[in-house]
Amino acid sequence: MELEYKPFRNINLADPFFDSLKEGYAEFPDWFARKADDLAYVFEQSDGSIDGFLYLKVEDEALLDITPQQGRARRLKVGTMKVNPHGTKMGERFIKKIIDHAVREQTEQIYVTVFEQHEALITLFRRYGFEQIGTKTSHNGTELVLAKNIHANYLDMYRGYPLVKLGQNKAYILSLYPQWHTRLLPDSILRNETNDIVEDISSANSIHKVYLTKMHGVDALRQGDILAIYRTSDGQGPAHYRSVVTSIGVVEEYRHLDSFSSAEEFFRYCRPYSVFTRQELEDLWRRRNYPFVFKFMYNLSFKRKVTRAVMIEELGLPGAEQYWGFFEISHGQLRAIANKGEADESLIID
């Protein structure tokens, strides 16, 4: 199953997936027809059935149909979002996509209307910093209006997402082999979407990641530490030019393999966000040769990958004398790497 960005006219409105939206919003079929040339994100199974739908719209107007009314501003509206939950973290992928859009379109505020009975969806939005700013009443009923300001006061790593807070947190280079990087942070660009926000999309794309390693020093990781994700060479040329930093993440938790009381606890912790299959996890549990386990959030993806050559020759990072698996860098070096990667610098805060 893949996430596609496609015109409404190429999306099957007759799919049973849309039945609840038709029931909740009498005007939905007419609205859908008027959007024939607009684009939406769709998760489709191999048989063509739909499991997720997301429509986003940039607005520059006052919100006069909600209580209390909101003044004119440039906002990103979550026009329609629905997922069929089945344990794949699709909702998180959509949250990430929503925020990616807002950052790219330079819309400070995101808002969405949702009926109060959709408790799971409301909980998901609230986890990532959406708060109620009002209500909207129509012939369909009364909906909550939830909004998130990208640069709101930082409360924690979840509600502040995608902000990266430096503070007293340490920053590190973390290397991943290409095969793990592709599965964890895939650089898959959709053919029918041309802007930079489609980077790193696949059926594995979610906000939270779990990784296992045996690299020396990783046991120093603590919550809030910052990771510059470094994809090692693909062997198609000199590592000096083929190894690149692609993204920035924030550590949620570090654990040692011995901290899990059972294999089943280990599987439950790792499986939803891990690059590893169940069989691979069973092998890792049995062999115990990758004892360092950490969970991190996937915050920023670079528009331009930053090569090892640039980091050494232009940014002053250590050269051949340094093992480039895992090592600490300064906050200044992290900012310089992000700048070279053309990340939005306002998302990295002191």
DSSP 35: T
Query: Distance between CA 110 and CA 128 in Å, rounded?
Result: 12
| Token representation of residue 57 | 């719209």
Q: How many CA atoms lie within 13 A of 73 on its CB side?
A: 15
329 burial (CB, 10 Å; 0-12 / 13-18 / 19+) is buried
Token pair 């409404």: residue: 8
* The length of the chain, given as a count of residues: 350
**What pLDDT does 87 receive?**
59
Question: Considering all CA atoms of the chain, what is the largest pairwise distance in Å, rounded to the nearest integer?
Answer: 68
Cβ atoms within 10 Å, residue 296: 27
Class of 2-149 in CATH = alpha beta
Sorted by sequence, the CB contacts under 8 Å of residue 14 that are 6+ apart come out as none
Sorted by sequence, the CB contacts under 8 Å of residue 54 that are 6+ apart come out as 40, 41, 42, 78, 80, 81, 94, 97, 98
Which residues, listed in sequence order, are joined to residue 298 by a DSSP beta bridge? 249
pTM of the model: 0.89
Q: Give domain 164-349's CATH architecture.
A: Roll (3.10)
Cα distances from 61 to residues 46, 55, 80, 260, 331, in angstroms, run 40, 18, 19, 52, 38
Q: Please report, for the chain, the start and end positions of each structural domain, with discontinuous segments joined by +.
A: 2-149, 164-349
| Token representation of residue 168 | 């007293």
Asked if 151 contacts 108 with a C-beta cutoff of 8 angstroms, the reply is yes
pLDDT in 10s for each residue of the chain, 350 residues: 567 889 999 999 999 999 999 999 999 999 999 999 999 999 888 888 999 999 999 999 999 999 999 999 999 999 999 988 765 578 888 998 899 899 999 999 999 999 999 999 999 999 999 999 999 999 999 999 999 999 999 999 999 999 999 999 999 999 988 877 777 775 432 222 233 433 333 335 578 999 999 999 999 999 999 999 999 887 777 778 888 999 999 999 999 999 999 999 999 999 888 878 889 999 999 999 999 999 999 999 888 899 999 999 999 999 888 889 999 999 999 999 999 999 999 999 99
Sorted by sequence, the CB contacts under 8 Å of residue 316 that are 6+ apart come out as 333
| Token representation of residue 41 | 């994100």
240 burial (CB, 10 Å; 0-12 / 13-18 / 19+) is middle
Q: How many CA atoms lie within 13 A of 133 on its CB side?
A: 18
